[in-house]
Amino acid sequence: MSGPQELGLRLQGITKVYPGVVALKDVSLNISAGEVVGLIGENGAGKSTMMKILGGVITPTDGSISIDGKLYRGLTVAESQAAGIAFVHQELNTLDNLDVAANVFLGREKTRGRWRLIDRKAMRDAVQPLLDRVGAQFGPDMPVAALSLAEQQLLEIAKALSMDARLVIMDEPTSSLTISETNNLLKVIADLKAQGIAVVFISHRLSEVEECVDRIVVLRDGRIAGRLARDEISNDAMIRLMIGRDLKSLYTPPQAPPGEALLSVRDVRTQAKPANAANFELRRGEILGVAGLIGAGRTELAEAIFGAGGKLSGEVRVNGAPLDAGSPADAISAGLYLVPEDRKRTGLILEFPICENVTMANLRSCLRNGRVSRSRQIEVSEEQRSRLSIKTPDVRNAAQAMSGGNQQKVVLAKWLSMDPKVIIFDEPTRGIDVGSKSEIYKLMRALADRGVGVVMISSDMEEVIGVSDRIVVMRDGGISGELKRSDFSEHNILTLAVGKALEEA
Amino acid sequence: MQKKDLGLAILIIVVGAVVYLRNPLFLSPINLGNTANLVGLFGIFAIGQGFVIMTGGIDLSVGSVIALLGVLFVEMVGGYAVPWPAAVAITIALGALIGLAHGILITRFKMQPFVVTLCGLLIYRGIARGYTAEATAGFPFGASYPQLEWLTIGRSYGIPHSFIAMIIIAVVMWFVLHQSVFGRHLYAVGKNDEAARFSGIRSGFVITSAYVICSVLAAVAAIYFAMFTKSVQPSSHGNFYELYAIAAAVLGGFSLRGGEGSIVGVVLGAVLLQELQNLVNLLGIPSSLNFAVMGTVILLGVLADQQLAAYRAKKRAAQAFERLQSERVES
Ligand SMILES: Nc1ncnc2c1ncn2[C@@H]1O[C@H](COP(=O)(O)OP(=O)(O)OP(=O)(O)O)[C@@H](O)[C@H]1O
Ligand SMILES: [Mg+2]
Distance from CA of A195 to the nearest CA of B (A): 41
Cα atoms found within 13 Å of the Cα of residue A143, Cβ hemisphere only: 4
- Identify which of A315, A311, A320, A265 has the alpha carbon closest to the alpha carbon of residue A288: A265
Cα atoms found within 13 Å of the Cα of residue A221, Cβ hemisphere only: 3
A1: pLDDT strictly greater than 50 = no
When CB atoms are compared, the residue of B181, B259, B321 closest to A363 is: B181
Between CA B4 and CA B1 the distance in angstroms is: 8
Weakly modelled stretches of chain B, pLDDT under 70: 1, 327-331
pLDDT given at position A7: 64
Query: Which DSSP category does A214 fall into?
Result: S
Domain that holds residue B147: 3-285
Ligand nearest the Cα of residue A409 is 1
What Å distances lie between residue A195 and A34, A171, A216, B296, CA to CA? Answer: 7, 21, 21, 58
Give pLDDT tens digits for A391-446: 898 999 999 989 888 999 999 999 988 888 999 999 999 888 888 888 889 889 98
Q: Which atom of ligand 1 is nearest to the CA of A41?
A: 21
User: Is B327 a domain residue?
Assistant: no
Give pLDDT tens digits for B238-271: 999 999 999 999 999 899 999 999 999 999 999 9
Instruction: Tell whether ligand 1 has an atom less than 6 A from the beta carbon of residue A258.
Output: no
Between CA B276 and CA B292 the distance in angstroms is: 11
Chains A, B: CB contacts under 8 A, how many? 88
Strands A36-41 vs A215-220: parallel, antiparallel or unpaired = parallel
Residues 6+ apart with CB under 8 A from B304: B7
Q: What are phi and psi of A45, to 5 degrees?
A: -75, -20
Q: pLDDT-based confidence at A504, cuts 50/70/90?
A: low
Q: Which residue has the higher pLDDT, B326 or A305?
A: A305
Give me the mean pLDDT over the A17-45 stretch: 91
Q: Report CB contact under 8 Å: A346, B198.
A: yes
pLDDT given at position A2: 39
Q: Taking the model in full, what pTM does it have? A: 0.84
Within 8 A of A372 by CB-CB distance, chain B residues are 179-181, 183-184
CA A402 to chain centre: 15
Query: For the range B94-97, what are the long-range contacts, defined as Cβ-Cβ under 8 Å and sequence gap of 24 or more?
Result: B94/B69, B94/B219, B95/B65, B95/B69, B95/B215, B95/B216, B95/B217, B95/B218, B95/B219, B95/B220, B95/B222, B96/B212, B96/B215, B96/B216, B96/B219
Residues 6+ apart with CB under 8 A from B39: B163, B166, B270, B271, B274
Cβ–Cβ < 8 Å for A377, A463: no
Q: Which atom of ligand 1 is nearest to the CA of A19?
A: 4
Element containing residue A14 per DSSP (H, E): strand A9-18
Can you give the CATH number for the domain in which B147 is found? 1.10.3470
Residues 6+ apart with CB under 8 A from B76: B82, B86, B87, B90, B91
Alpha carbon nearest to ligand 1 atom 7, residue:
A401
CA angle B181, A384, A372 (to 5 degrees): 15
Element containing residue A18 per DSSP (H, E): strand A9-18
User: Is B96 a domain residue?
Assistant: yes
Could you tell me if A145 lies within 8 Å of chain B, comparing CB atoms? no
Which of A11, A14, A24, A49 has the most ligand 1 atoms within 8 A of CB, as the residue to mutate? A49
pLDDT given at position A27: 94
A234 CA to centre of ligand 2 in angstroms: 22
Q: pLDDT-based confidence at A309, cuts 50/70/90?
A: confident
pLDDT given at position B330: 64
Greatest extent of chain B over all pairs of C-alpha atoms, in Å: 87
User: Is B183 a domain residue?
Assistant: yes
Give pLDDT tens digits for B146-181: 999 999 999 999 999 999 999 999 999 999 999 999
pLDDT given at position B331: 58
The mean pLDDT value of chain A amounts to: 89
User: Is B314 a domain residue?
Assistant: no
pLDDT given at position A4: 42
Alpha carbon nearest to ligand 1 atom 12, residue:
A23
3-class secondary structure per residue, A296-319: CCHHHHHHHHCCCCCEEEEEEEEC
Between CA B76 and CA B68 the distance in angstroms is: 12
- Say what percent of chain A tops pLDDT 90: 57
Distance from CA of A398 to the nearest CA of B (A): 13
User: Is B292 a domain residue?
Assistant: no
* Least confident interval from A111-115, A219-223, A375-379, A458-462: A111-115
- Identify which of A152, A89, A41, A46 has the alpha carbon closest to the alpha carbon of residue A432: A41
Between CA A307 and CA A297 the distance in angstroms is: 15
Cβ–Cβ < 8 Å for A54, A85: yes
Q: pLDDT-based confidence at A107, cuts 50/70/90?
A: confident
A39 CA to centre of ligand 2 in angstroms: 10
When CB atoms are compared, the residue of A347, A360, A371 closest to B188 is: A360
Q: Which atom of ligand 1 is nearest to the CA of A219?
A: 21
Cβ–Cβ < 8 Å for A157, A173: yes
Within 8 A of B188 by CB-CB distance, chain A residues are 349, 352, 356, 360
User: Is B7 a domain residue?
Assistant: yes
B300 CA to centre of ligand 2 in angstroms: 38
Instruction: Tell whether ligand 1 has an atom less than 6 A from the beta carbon of residue A402.
Output: yes
Class of residue B25 by CB neighbours under 10 A (exposed 0-12, middle 13-18, buried 19+): middle
A42 CA to centre of ligand 2 in angstroms: 9
User: Is B78 a domain residue?
Assistant: yes
Give pLDDT tens digits for A136-181: 889 999 999 888 888 998 999 999 999 888 999 999 999 888 888 8
What residues form DSSP beta bridges with A473?
A291, A481
For residue A354, give the amino acid letter.
I
User: Is B232 a domain residue?
Assistant: yes
Q: Report CB contact under 8 Å: A363, B184.
A: yes
Q: pLDDT-based confidence at A250, cuts 50/70/90?
A: low
Length of chain B: 331
Cα atoms found within 13 Å of the Cα of residue A281, Cβ hemisphere only: 9
pLDDT given at position A3: 40
Other C-beta atoms lying within 10 Å of the C-beta of residue B18: 13
A5: pLDDT strictly greater than 60 = no
pLDDT given at position B293: 87
pLDDT given at position A370: 87
Instruction: Tell whether ligand 1 has an atom less than 6 A from the beta carbon of residue A391.
Output: yes
Query: What is the number of domains present in chain B?
Result: 1
pLDDT given at position A179: 86
